[in-house]
Structures are given as C-alpha cells and as structure tokens.
C-alpha cells in the first residue's frame, strides 16, 4: 500500500487543505475526523495545527486537587463520586482538613489548587467564599481554580444572587479561574438520558458565558466514551467554539475519558488509548480558537498522555496529588506524579516542558525554595 492510498483512505485530503489554509472546519469535517480509521494521519494534522500555535512547548503545573466533599444532591449516571449522607464512602472535609491540604500544597511548592465538589445538600452558600478566603489569606501565592458551572449555578440558587454576583463574591474571596468540568456532552439527548437532574447544556453555556463576561477565565471539557454519538461530540465542540468566538474566555479544552466502574452504566466499559488520542486530535482541529488542549494524564495514563503530546495536545495538567472523581470510578493511574517525572514524559515525546501557572504564564524551573509560612503570618 502506498502513502497515497493511506491519504485517500483517511478521507482527510480536503480537510488537510483547509487546515493548511487556516480555514474553519465544518460540522461534516468533524464527522469525517471521527470516522477516519487513519489515526496517524489525523494525529499528524492535529500536531501541525498545534505546533503552528504552540510550537514544541508543553505546559504542566504543580498543583493539588481538593475535592472538598462528595455529598451531592444529583445522581448522574456517569458518576461514581457522588454519595448521599449516610453512604459508607460519603465524606466532607472540615475547614481544617482543607487548610491542611492547602498548607501541604504550599510547602510542596504548588502554584494552584483545583477545588471542586458535589452539590452539597446542606452547606449554606456562605461556606464557599469563606473556604476560598481562608485559603487565600494564608497562602496568597496559590491560584485558586475552583467550582464548575454546575456549582456556580447551585450557589446562585442557594444564595438568591445572580450568577454574576456569585462570581464576583467568589473572586473577591480569592477565586482566580474556573475548571472546565460539568459540560459532559452538550446535547439534549445525552443530557436527558444520563444526567437529567443536572443543569442542561444551554444553561452550562450560559453560566460559562457569564463567567467569561465578568472576567473569570475557564477551561472546557467533554466527557467521552459512554452513550454519546460522533455527531453529538461535533455539536459539543462547535458550541464551545461559538462561545469562544463571543467571549474569548476559554484557556484550554480537555477531553475526559469516561470511567465506568461503580456507576449505573458500568456495562458500557472503558474506551482505550486510540479514543483518547482521537479526542485530542479532533478537539485541536475543530476547536480552532482555544489556545491550549490538555491531555489529562489521570484519565488517560501517562503513557497515552505522552502520545497525545505528539498528536495535538500542548498541556499535560499537573502533579495532582489526590484525586477522587476518577479513582472512585475505577481509575488505575496513580494520584500523584512528580514534577521531574512530568518533565521527563514531555521531553521523551520530543517536546520542551515549561512549568506554568494556571493562566499559562511561564514560571521559573526549578522553582525557588518555599519556606514554611511562619505561624505569625497565619490569619
């Protein structure tokens, strides 16, 4: 078989020309990207698009996730994290436990805390700004990336405030940006089938748009590998792209690989490496106006994440330390990787690692030593 035959079989000839001319890809192009059996040709195209934007640089951050509680009013079918009060594995961290994790993160040299949780059945709204303020007052060096659009919407309901006022209060308390979770698949069919109690797709887009307009930058995600169809994933990516045209507030796109264990849709099984690579490549090509595409190694494995770095991704998330959402759903990856290991994974892929803050400014490596915070400085 000649290389020409592979190019023909890939169905990507015209799309390749469009990508070269920096022309926007259509819905039908998106379907073709999902349909092609030629994963290497797809990856090469996405790598080209990524390198035109980001060169050979790959970002990572030194971060820590804090999942403050898994008690949740919702019962989404893809989720193994959410529990009800009285369930054996339901938990909530006290403020002291949250501050202890923040201290460890600070002393361990982290630059970011990624803070999300379930829709807690009893916390009053005031808990959330108080949580941020308590961390910020002690560790102002840490960027607080917190709360998905789903949580923000819930806080608006709890407080009676507008979404904008909720966001402004959180920013005043220390919120630096928002992660991209909760988007799942932005179509009504999937929403009705597997997470109908949760905010719908239009609402997710609306709340994120409001965040962008009040100056809060966010990430974006797509949960793939369950009941969604290719056309629904293309619709999802185009919706994100359209919002980005309007607001420019998305920093990163992150495909999330569905982990089925302990969920009511466990029978669907786990999609494997090629699916993770394809989502990265299609995301890079379709979502042409997002600056960065992240392979989240916790969900893909470091091995697959490394391959994704050669096929469209320019970011690998961070050191993480403790992760519950995917691990309660059967993830076998570790919860922590060292900064040195992340750099090695990136270098081995032929890329140049850079330590970054949450909003993609380059930071010094190695980072200057951090002294323990003197007790007198603690509020």
Residues that bind ligand V47 (CB under 6 A): 78-81, 148, 179-182, 184, 219, 221, 223, 254, 256, 258-259, 263, 296, 317, 325-326, 329
The length of the chain in residues reads 379
Nearer Cβ to ligand V47 (12/325):
325
CB of 146 to ligand V47, least distance (A): 10
Nearer Cβ to ligand V47 (254/337):
254
CB of 4 to ligand V47, least distance (A): 39
Whether residue 366 is preceded by a cis peptide bond, meaning omega within 30 degrees of 0, is: yes
Nearer Cβ to ligand V47 (29/184):
184
Backbone angles phi and psi of 310, in degrees to 5: -100, 5
Dist CA 92 CA 315 (whole Å): 31
CB of 220 to ligand V47, least distance (A): 8
Of 118, 116, 122, the closest CA to residue 98 belongs to 116
Of 289, 339, 286, the closest CA to residue 316 belongs to 339
Nearer Cβ to ligand V47 (176/179):
179
Nearer Cβ to ligand V47 (180/201):
180
SS3 268: helix
Nearer Cβ to ligand V47 (15/345):
345
Q: What share of the chain is helix, strand, coil (3-state, %, to 5)?
A: 45, 15, 40
CB of 329 to ligand V47, least distance (A): 3
Dist CA 53 CA 319 (whole Å): 25
CB of 319 to ligand V47, least distance (A): 12
Work out the number of other CB atoms within 10 angstroms of the CB of residue 213.
Answer: 13
Q: Determine the residue with CB nearest ligand V47.
A: 181
User: What is the CA angle 302-333-95, rounded to 5?
Assistant: 115
CB of 60 to ligand V47, least distance (A): 12
Distances (CA, A) of 291 to 61, 101, 129, 374: 16, 31, 29, 39
CB of 304 to ligand V47, least distance (A): 14
Nearer Cβ to ligand V47 (44/81):
81
């Amino acid at each position: 078989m000649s290389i020409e035959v592979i190019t023909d079989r890939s169905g990507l000839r015209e799309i390749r020309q469009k990508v070269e001319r920096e022309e926007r890809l259509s819905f039908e192009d998106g379907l073709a990207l999902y349909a092609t059996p030629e994963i290497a040709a797809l990856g090469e195209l996405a790598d080209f698009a990524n390198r035109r934007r980001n060169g050979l640089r790959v970002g990572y951050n030194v971060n820590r996730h804090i999942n403050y509680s898994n008690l949740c009013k919702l019962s989404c079918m893809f989720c193994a994290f959410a529990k009800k009060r009285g369930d054996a594995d339901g938990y909530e961290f006290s403020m002291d436990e949250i501050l202890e994790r923040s201290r460890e993160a600070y002393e361990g040299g982290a630059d970011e805390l990624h803070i999300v949780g379930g829709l807690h059945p009893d916390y009053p709204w005031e808990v959330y700004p108080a949580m941020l303020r308590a961390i910020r007052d002690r560790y102002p060096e840490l960027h607080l990336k917190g709360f998905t659009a789903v949580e923000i919407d819930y806080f608006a309901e709890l407080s009676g405030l507008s979404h904008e006022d909720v966001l402004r209060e959180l920013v005043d308390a220390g919120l630096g940006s928002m992660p991209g979770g909760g988007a799942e698949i932005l179509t009504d069919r999937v929403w009705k089938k597997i997470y109908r109690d949760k905010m719908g797709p239009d609402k997710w887009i609306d709340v994120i748009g409001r965040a962008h307009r009040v100056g809060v930058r966010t990430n974006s995600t797509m949960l793939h590998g369950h009941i969604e169809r290719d056309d629904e994933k293309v619709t999802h990516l185009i919706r994100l792209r359209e919002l980005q045209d309007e607001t420019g507030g998305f920093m990163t796109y992150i495909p999330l690989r569905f982990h089925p264990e302990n969920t009511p849709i466990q029978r669907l099984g786990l999609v494997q490496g090629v699916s993770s690579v394809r989502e990265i490549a299609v995301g890079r090509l379709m979502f042409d106006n997002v600056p960065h595409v992240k392979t989240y190694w916790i969900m893909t494995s470091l091995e697959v994440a490394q391959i994704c770095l050669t096929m469209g991704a320019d970011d690998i998330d961070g050191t993480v330390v403790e992760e519950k959402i995917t691990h309660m759903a059967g993830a076998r990856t570790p919860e922590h990787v060292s900064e040195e290991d992340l750099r090695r994974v990136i270098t081995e892929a032929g890329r140049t690692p850079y330590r970054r803050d949450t909003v993609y400014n380059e930071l010094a490596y190695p980072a200057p030593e951090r002294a323990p915070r003197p007790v007198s400085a603690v509020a």
